[in-house]
Amino acid sequence: MSHYRIGIVGGDGIGPEVVAEGLKVLDATGVSYDAVPFDLGGARYLRTGEVLPDGVLEEIRGLDAVLLGAVGTPDVPPGVLERGLLLRLRFELDLYVNLRPFHAPPEVDMVVVRENTEGAYAGEGGFLRKGTPHEVATQGSVNTRMGVERCVRFAFDLARTRSRRHVTLVHKTNVLTFAGDLWQRVFDEVAAEHDDVGTGYHHVDAACIYFVQDPGRYDVIVTDNLFGDILTDLGGAVSGGIGRAASGNLNPARTGPSLFEPVHGSAPDIAGTGRADPRAAIMSVAMMLDFLGEAEAAARVTKAVAGSEGATGTTAQIGDAIAEGV
Ligand code: IPM
Ligand code: MN
C-alpha cells in the first residue's frame, strides 16, 4: 500500500477551514498519508515579512502533493501573497496545467485545461516614465511553443479518456494575432495526430455566452492562463457555484509535487462564520487522490460529495456528512 507525504497550506480566510474538511474526508478514505503543515500566507507575512522562503520551497519539492486552501487577506497589499506564494509555486514546481472540471447534472460535464505558467501571468512588461503625465505601462503575454504544446497535448490525451472525445480551443485569435496564431497552429498540429478526437474553436467572448446559455455543449476546453482564469470563475458560477469548483495545478511530467486547491479565494468576509462550502476543497482532495493513482478512493469521495447535494449546515457539518458517506 502506498504512503504519501502531503503538504498542507491552509492559507488565509476560509482556506484553513475548508482544508480541515478536506483532510477529514481524506482520513475517511483510509489512504495512508502524513500531513506536512506549512505556515504560509498572510499571518506569516505580517509576522515575519516572508511569503515563501527558499528553504520552504525546497521542502515542498520533496512532497508527493500539496493541498492549499486559499491565499490573500485585506491586511496585506493585493497581489503580494497571490504572486509571491501561489504563482511562485505554480512556476517553480512547473505546474503547467491548471485542470478545472465542472459538473452540473444532467447536462454539464466539462473540464477546462488552463495553461498555468505563461501568458499574462509571466510578469513580462514594465513602466516607462512612471508617475509622470507621459507614463507608459506594458504587460505582455508570453507564449512559448513548448508551453502551449504541452497543454494542448494534455487536453487531447484527456479527451481520449472521456466519452465525448472533444476539445475546444478558446482564444481570441481575431485580435491577438501573434499569441492566437501560435495557439491555433499548435492546436491544429496536435489535432491532426488525434483523428479520434473532435475539435472546435470559440473566441473567448462567445465562449462566455455559451458557458451561461449552453455549457452542456463543452467536453474539454484548452485555453491560455488569463482566459482560463476568467472562464473558470464563470464555469463555477454556472455549475453549482464557486463553492463547488475544484482544481489541480498539475505537473504531468511528475518532476515534483502537484498542487490541489479550490478555485475560490479566501473570502475574508465569511471567514470564521462556518458558512464556507467545503465541497470545492473536498473535491480538490478527490482530484489529488486521482492524480496520485488512488482512483478508487477518489471515486468514493466524488460519490460522497455528489450524495451530499441536499446537505446543509456549517462548513464542519457538511464535511462530517461527506466523510460519513465515503
Ligand atoms: C485562481 C486565482 C489566482 C489566479 C490568483 C489568486 C492569483 O484567481 O487560481 O484562479 O489568478 O490564477
Ligand atoms: Mn481565478
The model's pLDDT over 199-244, given as tens digits with 9 standing for 90+, comes to: 999 999 999 999 999 999 999 999 999 999 999 999 999 998 888 9
Residues in the chain where the model's pLDDT stays below 50: none
Which of these is catalytic: 96, 121, 224, 320?
A: 121
Whole-angstrom distance, CA of residue 137 vs CA of residue 268? 31
Annotate 79-113 with DSSP letters as a single string: THHIIIIIIHHHHHTT--EEEEEEEETTTEEEEEE
Has 172 been annotated as catalytic?
yes
What is the dihedral angle through the alpha carbons of 255, 256, 262, 264, rounded to the nearest 10 degrees?
A: -90
Cell for 54?
A: 527558499
Nearest CA to ligand 1 atom 9: 263
Q: What is the mean pLDDT of the chain?
A: 97
Tell me how far the alpha carbon of residue 229 lies from the centroid of ligand 1, in angstroms: 7
Q: What is the pLDDT of residue 1?
A: 82
Q: What is the pLDDT of residue 44?
A: 96
Has 205 been annotated as catalytic?
yes
Q: What is the pLDDT of residue 309?
A: 86
Tell me how far the alpha carbon of residue 312 lies from the centroid of ligand 1, in angstroms: 28
In single-letter form, the type of residue at position 296 comes to: E
Per-residue pLDDT reduced to its tens digit, 239-269: 988 889 999 999 999 999 999 999 999 999 9
* Model pTM score: 0.97
| DSSP letter, residue 176 | -
Has 210 been annotated as catalytic?
no
3-state secondary structure of 290: helix
Q: Which ligand is nearest to the CA of 117?
A: 1
Nearest CA to ligand 1 atom 12: 229
